[in-house]
Every structure is written in structure tokens, then in C-alpha cells.
Structure 1
Amino acid sequence: MPSDLKLPDIRIFRSCKIGRIYQFGASFSDTGNDVVQDPMLASSRLPYAAGIPLLNPYLKNDVDFTHGVNFAVGGATALSAKALAEKDIMLDGTDNSLGVQVEWMSNHFASQCNTNISTPGSLHDSLFVVGEIGRNDYHSAYRRGKTFRDVQNMVPDVTEIIENAVKRVIGFGASQVIIPGIFPMGCLPVILTDFKSNDTSAYDENGCVKEFNDVITFHNDYLQRKIIMLQQENSLATIVYSDYFNGFKWLLSNAHQLGFDATSALEGCCGNDGPSRIDSSTDGCGGSNVPVCSNPDQYINWDGVHFTQKAHSVLASWVVAGLIPKLNCAAEAKYY
């Protein structure tokens, strides 16, 4: 990697003294709940920094939740299936929306009533991560033929659900809450495949679909305004926005310097989703006879939606470095 582009050493995150993490969200955060529900999923097969072990999924039986719980489920939405149906949006996947995940949290803490984990102040060293979520709501709407204006009109409802979830976790005693924004959907290979256009003005300087990213920017701005209000109402808690959007834009702009193949920055490694894909009948990643690139570390995107391990590592460095000064940590990230 060229010496003029430095990444933060996020091992300093351990100075935040986080004892447990409680994670909500969708597939970017799910460590196994979706697989527990459906063991036949392609993602159940291999290969699939805070100084604590990987969080166990809530739905898995007889596991150690000492270091926290992962409530996130692949494909989850912020809005419930009923609320989406009222907007004429049908779900293709799970109905384990954010509201359901928060109820799981409530049940989990109730089951711990005989331990000190549910006593006031016992969550002082715990980190709650509410999201990233909302992307599947918007994607489902697009797939139902909704316009960009229709989708933008969903933003107040989606962000209100996130706001209510944050209020619930604070009510349980959470003192440190991270609320991630959404990645630029218009840069995802699956979107670039499904909404391919001959109109060059539909794309930004990186080749991403402008209108998709405009809606996500609107969502993220709306969410940040809610976070400001939540912080004003809860002065004893630290409520932090995590800027996934600009983190990904930074990665994309510096792809070559970070060791990625810039010519395939918007292509999927598995399934070959992206702007140059021709065969629209190809099955998604995990299906039979689906092509997989031989050099995934040079790709940003893995399966058209999710990122490769290397891309996640780089993004984590950028995102966590921005979070450390805002959390109750003893030091700031250094760069190497």
C-alpha cells in the first residue's frame, strides 16, 4: 500500500473498555440468526476488534452470551411486514424486523433476571449497535416498482422505527449507542445490474446510480437529525452516528491505493453482478455453476450486495477511527 494513504490502528478500540455488544440490524451484522432459521441457505457454507469474541446469534441454543448478543437477521427491515404491506410492498425474506429484534432483546434481559446483567447500571460497559437497517425496506420498495419519490417518502417512517428502538435500548440502561447510516446503495453491483441505464447522466463520478444515493443521503441526514434530538433528550447516554456512507465513498475513491482492482470496484466477485454483467439469468452467489473470482481480496464487493472480507476490514478501520473520539474511550486511534 502506498505510504501516502494511512489506515488507523483500531486496536486502540480496546481502550473503550467494552465488555458486551448488543447488535441489531440485517445481513451486514447477522452472525447466524438467518442460518439458524434456514440451515439450507447458501450463506451457511464456508467461507463465512474490540477484543471480545464474535457475538453469538440470539436464536442459537446453548451458547455463551457473556460478551453480548447479536439480534440482527439477514434480510431484516426496519418496518414490519404489515407496515410494508400497507404501502403495497411485499417482503421476499424474513419478517424479523427491528421491532421483533428489540422484543428479542427484552426477552433476553428478562431471562437474565437472576443475574446482575439486568440491574440498573450493569450495562455501563456495553455497546449497543442499532443498525445498519432500512436498506432492505427501500430495496423491496424499488423491486415493487416504487418511484424514488415514493421511497423517499418512506424515510420518516423508517427512521422513526430506528428512533423508537434506540429509546427502548436506552430504557434498558444502555449508555453507549451507535446508530449507523446506510451505505451508498447506488454503488452496489446488484443495483447497477437491475437498474442499468444508457443514460450517462444517471451515474455519478464513481459510476454509481445518483438517485439511489440521493435517497440514502436523505435517509442518513434525516436519521442524524433524530440522533441530535435523542442526545438532547438523553444527556446521560452517548448516542453516536456511524458514517457508513462516507466510509464507503472514501474506500471507493481510494480503491487502487488500498490494494483493490479499481477496474472491478463496482463488480461482484461471486455471481459477477455489476455494470458489465451481460447474462441476467445467472443465479446469485451460492447457486450451482455460479462464477467466483480467483482474487477476492482485490474486489470490494463479494456477492453483489455484501462486501469482501478485505473491504470490511478497511471499512471497519475507517468507521471505528471516527467512533473512538465520540465514545468513552481513553485514547484516540493512531495511523500507520
Structure 2
Amino acid sequence: MASSASLLLLLVAASHVCCCHGQGGDNGAVAAIYSLGDSITDTGNLAKEAPPGAFETIKHLPYGVTFGRPTGRCSDGLLMIDFLAQDMGLPFLNPYLAKNMSFAHGVNFAVAGATAMDLADQFNGSFSMPFTSNSLKLQLRWFKDSMKSTYATHAGNSSISFPLITPQCTLCFQQSGILILYVKSVCAVIRKRLQSSLVLVGEIGGNDYNFAFYANKSVSEVEKMIPAVVQTIINATKEVLDMGASRVIVPGNFPIGCLPSYLTAMAAPEPSAYDSTACLKDLNLFAAKHNTQLQQAVAGLQASYPDAAIAYADYFNSFLSLLKGAPALGFDSNSTHKACCGAGGRYNYDLRLMCGVEGTAVCADPSAYVSWDGIHMTQAAYKAMSRLIYHGRYLQPQILNFPEKNGQT
């Protein structure tokens, strides 16, 4: 057993070995994708985690109807992350909470309903979450645990368990008698893996605002949350970069004033409340403020981590581009603001009758609709968004190289 003094010296030395920083985004192929986020990206974690009866609808048809079966995705079929994986020549990402499934090409840690901030910090215990309490902090812990358990084994010893310690030294291990050489070996394996991988930190933060709006907070009140939400996302991105990630994408928020859920819940009698795309001006202005602060913070990361390739994914303007070009992209111009699956009304959305429950119906052709259930998009819309972002001008800067013959979704 090492003395406390020698163990302290060991940990100090290990801290210099294991604070893994990105060593530059090479232009080679992406070997794996690691994703953190919410329902825009979740490929089944909430469905695995939620107890029977909780968010039951996404576990059953019509969710997944275009794919052929329900998968836990909040859509009729595939998501942007699925099309991105396809274009990278990789399999679909399995959810972290799945059992006996391969994580050889990456892991999806995203959970539908997840927030960026911990709810206790955000609402001070005054607001009760309806179905999940996952946050970015929890997903980061899953990410670290996954890397540790996988690559400690690859480094040559699967029998030692190393709890992670401080965020400043994410991959240091506190274990009496551990050899510095072994710690260095584990770090090197993880760093090498992340340097050939792509990490998505988001989209996340949207639910922080959604739950505040659902708690009847005004736009001006919710705006006060933006700096804290953005900083939480940036702090998480820093941790990922310090682990050794060299290619990172941080997506912004959607123009939420265009979503059937908000168009229904916050409908205004004055035509002046709507813009030229028939979306609610104040809500889109709010989302734009979040995105402006996030973009500025991402620019700060790019300056602080010059050897890493860090990009902002512009979900806001790519979505507006999709709306404006809907007919040319194959969508019904009369249904761009309506949910495919819903219960009637101007936008075919009713909070009391969510898609999949008795009393709702599904449109004949989901591919003609942008919105699937009033909150989430259809497979066709996600495919169009993926093309606009990852193959278009809405990834800033463009940090992805697609394998030959896999360059189009």
C-alpha cells in the first residue's frame, strides 16, 4: 500500500499526464460519433429509462411508422444524427442505456426531455419535471464512465476500476499503487480514440426554456436564463475538449416560434405578432438571442482551443431555409406549420392529446410534413435539415469530410 505522501505525488504527476487536450482535428475519417443532447438526438435512451407508462407513446406506433417499428426516437423515423452517421459510413448510434449492443462506432447519450442545466439549479425546486430529470451533467458522467470502462480495458487491464475526479483533470485516476505508466497508457488510448471521433454537444438547452414557458414564465423572464444555459453548454464542451476531443459540433436552438406547439399555446390575435414565415416574432427573437450568445461563446472556445476543430451548427437559419423552400424540398406548402400526428385545430396540435394517444390521427404522408407531432420533426424534415447543415452552409466552419459515395443524405 502506497503511503499518503507518495499517493499524493502520484496523483499530482498523473494530473499532468491525464489532462488530455485536443491535438488538432485531422482530416481523416470519423471512426465514431459521441452525442449528447435531448429528443432531437435521442435514439432510445428515454424509452429505455422511463418506467412503464411514462412517455409511453414514443415506445409504440405511430412513432417509428416510417422506419417500420418504434425505436424510441421522437419521430416517424430517423433523426439528423442517423443521417449524419450514414453519411460518415457508420452504423446508427445505439443509445447508452441499451443492453448488449455495440458501441464500437460511438454512443448516443442524448435523452428526450433532457435539460442543459440541472433542474435544481434552474428552478430552485419550484418546478416539477413531468418525466425525466436528465441533464448535460449526467450525460457527461455517462460519457466519461463509458470511455473509462472501454479504454481502461484496451490499455491492458480490465480489473481495475478508476473513479474519475476533478473536471480540470478529467481522466486522472485515484487508485493506491497505480503505475503512472498505466495511467498514461489509458489516457493515450482515450485521446487517440477521441481524435478520430466526432462529438456533438447538443442540441440542448431548448428544454430549459420549454419547461420555463410551460410554467407560465414570460419571455422576458426566460431570457434571464440564457447566460446560465449557454455557460452550462460551453462548460460541458470544454470538458469534452479537455478529454482529448478534436472535432466538436455545438448546435444552436430552433426558431421555436415556428413550432405547432408554440403556435398553438401562444397564439396571438394580432397579425403583427407573426413574421413573414407565419411564425411568432417574439419567440423567434428569443431563440435568436440564445443562439447569438452561444455563437459568441463557441468563438471563444475556438480561440482557446486552436488545435481543435470546433463548429457551430445553425439549426435556426437552416430550419427557416427549409420552411421558405418547403415546396422545392417536397413538402406540402399548406402543412409546413401543422403536425402530421395530432388532434385537430389550426396546427393539428393539442397538448392534452399528444401524438399516439386515443383521439389522435396520423397524416397519410408524413414525408409531406415538416412537423411530426407538433414538437419534433418528421424523418423527411430531419433528412432535409441534415443536408442543409452538414452538406450546406449552416455548419460554421465546415469541419467534416465525408467518405466518397457517402456525401449525400
For normalisation by structure 1, the TM-score amounts to 0.89
Aligned identity (percent) is 38
Q: Structure 2 matches for 1:147-296, cutoff 5 A? A: 147-272=218-343, 275-277=346-348, 280=350, 283-296=353-366
1:86 Cα deviation from its structure 2 partner: 1.8
Q: Is contact 2:29–2:403 with CA below 8 Å preserved after alignment?
A: no
Distance 1:330 1:203, change over 3 A: closer
1:276 Cα deviation from its structure 2 partner: 4.4
Alpha-carbon distance in structure 2 between the residues aligned to 1:169 and 1:330 = 23
Match of residue 377 from structure 2 = 307
Q: Is contact 1:77–1:133 with CA below 8 Å preserved after alignment?
A: yes
Distance 1:335 1:29, change over 3 A: closer
Who wins on radius of gyration, i.e. which is larger?
2
2:34 partner letter: Y
Q: Deviations over 1:154-196 (max 9, x none)?
A: 0100011100110111111100000000111111101111111
Distance 1:280 1:59, change over 3 A: closer
Q: What SS does the aligned partner of 2:327 have?
A: coil
Alpha-carbon distance in structure 1 between the residues aligned to 2:33 and 2:345 = 34
2:33 to 4, 21, 28: 21
1:199 Cα deviation from its structure 2 partner: 1.2
Distance 1:260 1:308, change over 3 A: same
Q: Deviations over 1:37-95 (max 9, x none)?
A: 12552111242422101101111122111000000000101111101222844322311
Q: Is contact 1:90–1:140 with CA below 8 Å preserved after alignment?
A: no
Alpha-carbon distance in structure 1 between the residues aligned to 2:215 and 2:228 = 18
Q: What SS does the aligned partner of 2:40 have?
A: coil
1:281 Cα deviation from its structure 2 partner: 7.2
1:43 to 30, 44, 58: 58
Match of residue 69 from structure 1 = 107
1:264 partner letter: S
Alpha-carbon distance in structure 2 between the residues aligned to 1:54 and 1:44 = 18
Alpha-carbon distance in structure 2 between the residues aligned to 1:88 and 1:31 = 30
Q: Is contact 1:271–1:282 with CA below 8 Å preserved after alignment?
A: no
1:57 partner letter: P
Alpha-carbon distance in structure 2 between the residues aligned to 1:335 and 1:114 = 36
1:292 Cα deviation from its structure 2 partner: 1.1
Q: Deviations over 1:192-214 (max 9, x none)?
A: 11111211111111111111111
1:122 Cα deviation from its structure 2 partner: 2.8
Q: Is contact 1:267–1:273 with CA below 8 Å preserved after alignment?
A: no
1:280 Cα deviation from its structure 2 partner: 4.8
1:144 to 205, 209, 215: 215
1:326 Cα deviation from its structure 2 partner: 2.2
Alpha-carbon distance in structure 1 between the residues aligned to 2:278 and 2:29 = 41
Unmatched segments (≥5 aa) in structure 2 = 1-26, 65-69, 71-86, 156-185
Distance 1:283 1:108, change over 3 A: same
Alpha-carbon distance in structure 2 between the residues aligned to 1:153 and 1:69 = 33
**Moved runs in structure 1, 4+ residues, more than 3 A?**
87-90, 272-277, 279-282, 322-325, 330-336
Distance 1:190 1:125, change over 3 A: same
Q: What SS does the aligned partner of 2:312 have?
A: strand
1:328 Cα deviation from its structure 2 partner: 5.4
1:99 to 113, 137, 145: 137
Q: Structure 2 matches for 1:75-94, cutoff 5 A? A: 75-86=113-124, 88-94=126-132
Distance 1:134 1:275, change over 3 A: farther
Alpha-carbon distance in structure 1 between the residues aligned to 2:223 and 2:128 = 17
Q: Is contact 1:84–1:90 with CA below 8 Å preserved after alignment?
A: no
Q: Is contact 1:266–1:274 with CA below 8 Å preserved after alignment?
A: no
Q: Structure 2 matches for 1:109-124, cutoff 5 A? A: 109-112=147-150, 113-115=152-154, 119=189, 120-124=191-195
For normalisation by structure 2, the TM-score amounts to 0.74
Distance 1:115 1:83, change over 3 A: same
Distance 1:33 1:242, change over 3 A: same
